[in-house]
Amino acid sequence: MAASISGLASGLDTATIIDQLMQLEAAPQNRLKSRVSSEKLVLTSLQALNKTTASLATKAEALAKDTAWTPLVSTSSAAGVGVSTTSSASPRNLTVTVTSVAQTHQLGYAGTAGLSDVVTGASTLVRLDRFDGSPVEVETGDGTLQGLVTAINDPANDTGLSATVVKVADGQYRLLVESKATGTAADFDLTAQDGSPLMGGATVRGGTDASIDLGAGIVASSSTNTFAEVVPGVTITLGNQAAVGTVSSVSVSRDVAGMTAKVKDLVDSLNAVVAEIGVKTAGGTTGSAGPLAGDGNARQLRSHLLDTIRTGGGTSLAAYGIQVNRSGRLDFDEAAFKAAYAADPTGTAEMFTTAADGFAARVSEVAKGASDSADGTLSAAITGRQSGIDRMEDSIDEWDRRLTLRRTALERQFTALETALSQMSSQSNWLAGQLASLPSSSS
């Protein structure tokens, strides 16, 4: 409304005057908005620091466990001999010589027949004898070669066998049946119901157990090509490339390289948190201040993290490759750690694990104390900042309503002023007209 009559009577730019007055009225809200922006920058910085600290806590907690210090690496010099380990294994070297490999039991039948030819004799039943004293009869349906193969392979019959036909001439096939399992115990016989041979009788390739020679007259055998727990925690598996006479040097050793990488990762992660705190808490004496320049929690976290290198028993972590440098960060000497771990795996583990209040355990405690979602110091600071921002944003919204009402009031006041001045101008013009119409007096 004010814009439509702005200055019509007074000649004043009332719209501009109202805008300038509103700028003065909005000054407290603008200061509040500026503070919200600053607080959000602090909040974002705290959240980022909390995330990297939580990641550090996770890595430290994992390395503080005793189980983290029992990794082994296993190797085999022969491609056909595989080796795997469990946590119960211990470092050792073995020489493995393959003396036999596990095979299935096979029957290759001499006679040939068409797929639709009857091959089971007078009965459609065949007799399966696994030599365990309980032969079973299998129904083939129509007694044909195809019916026999289908019956043997039918899971419902649970024969434990696999049957196939081999084409030897047009329309002529031979039958090959083998056990699904390997080993000498997988032997079987398959005959007509009356015990007479099927299809001219079969050539037998007997099932065999696998065996390996570990030296000193010790031979291990298995019905499969897997030797589970051949020594505690170590399993040997013979692959397709394994042949009788294959010799393999099997080594089970501590994973020094793997442990070195884990410790280095922990030190790097701790340094990343320390560096982040350093940047974000910079005082601004030579440049712009960091968003957390006045945050005591961040500075305290940095101090406590660097204090974790100090041990209570007087043993220096420098002997294990970790020490504080002049810039206030940690240096990690991989060669020193590898030498210490190789020389004394148990003692080295104790310098890091929870049981002995080791370095990783101390780092975990400090990092979790800051980043824990329930009662961490950084988490609490984030919650407090967010609550403060929410309150200020509510105040900003309330200021929007106040300023809207104030602008409306000013517009009404200036509109009333313009209206009053317009009326006064009209009255003045009318009075001037009346005076001008009076007869002038003669001299």
Q: Cα dihedral angle (270, 271, 273, 276), rounded to 10 degrees? A: 180
Confidence of residue 173 (pLDDT cuts 50, 70, 90): very high
pLDDT of residue 4: 46
Residue 285 exposed, middle or buried by CB count within 10 Å (0-12, 13-18, 19+): exposed
Q: How far apart are CA 222 and CA 280, in angstroms?
A: 63
Q: Cα dihedral angle (339, 344, 346, 347), rounded to 10 degrees? A: -90
Q: How far apart are CA 107 and CA 368, in angstroms?
A: 66
Nearest to 308 by CA among 63, 67, 70: 63
Mean pLDDT of the 23-49 span? 87
Instruction: Give 338-404 as a DSSP string.
Output: HHHHHH-HHHHHHTTSGGGT-HHHHHHHHHHHHH-TTT-HHHHHHHHHHHHHHHHHHHHHHHHHHHH
- For residue 142, pLDDT over 50 is answered with yes
Q: How far apart are CA 149 and CA 176, in angstroms?
A: 9
Confidence of residue 1 (pLDDT cuts 50, 70, 90): very low
Question: What's the alpha-carbon Rg for the chain, to the nearest Å?
Answer: 46
- For residue 2, pLDDT over 50 is answered with no
Average pLDDT, the chain: 90
Confidence of residue 133 (pLDDT cuts 50, 70, 90): confident
C-beta of residue 9 within 8 angstroms of C-beta of residue 425 = yes
Backbone angles phi, psi at 153, to 5 degrees: -85, -10
Decide which of 139 and 292 is more confident.
Answer: 139
Task: Tell me the C-alpha to C-alpha distance, in Å, between residue 380 and each of 54, 61, 67.
Answer: 14, 21, 33
pLDDT of residue 99: 97
Mean pLDDT of the 21-31 span? 84
Mean pLDDT of the 144-158 span? 97
Nearest to 368 by CA among 378, 376, 360, 357: 376
Domain ranges of the chain: 1-71+255-419, 72-101+210-254, 104-205
C-beta of residue 272 within 8 angstroms of C-beta of residue 327 = no
pLDDT of residue 293: 86
pLDDT of residue 15: 81
Query: How much of the chain exceeds pLDDT 70, in percent?
Result: 94
For 65-119, how does the pLDDT look when each residue is reduced to its tens digit (9 = 90+)? 998 998 899 999 999 999 999 888 999 999 999 999 999 999 999 999 999 999 9
pLDDT of residue 295: 83
Chain Cα centroid distance, residue 405: 54
Put simply, whether the predicted model's pTM sits higher than 0.75 gets the answer no
C-beta of residue 92 within 8 angstroms of C-beta of residue 214 = no
pLDDT of residue 188: 96
pLDDT of residue 3: 46
pLDDT of residue 5: 52
Mean pLDDT of the 159-186 span? 96
Q: How far apart are CA 400 and CA 422, in angstroms?
A: 33
- Exposure string over 201-215, b if 16+ CB within 10 A, otherwise e: ebeeeebbbbbbbbe
In this structure, the number of other CB atoms found within 10 A of the CB of residue 4 comes to: 9
For 248-281, how does the pLDDT look when each residue is reduced to its tens digit (9 = 90+)? 999 999 999 999 999 999 999 999 999 999 999 8
Decide which of 30 and 363 is more confident.
Answer: 363
Confidence of residue 327 (pLDDT cuts 50, 70, 90): confident
pLDDT of residue 418: 74
Three-state secondary structure call for residue 52? helix
Decide which of 318 and 30 is more confident.
Answer: 318
Name the least confident of 28-42, 64-78, 210-224, 360-374.
28-42
Nearest to 164 by CA among 106, 101, 103: 106
C-beta of residue 107 within 8 angstroms of C-beta of residue 198 = no
Give the chain's largest Cα–Cα span: 168
For 376-429, how does the pLDDT look when each residue is reduced to its tens digit (9 = 90+)? 999 999 999 889 988 888 888 888 888 888 888 887 887 787 777 777 877 777
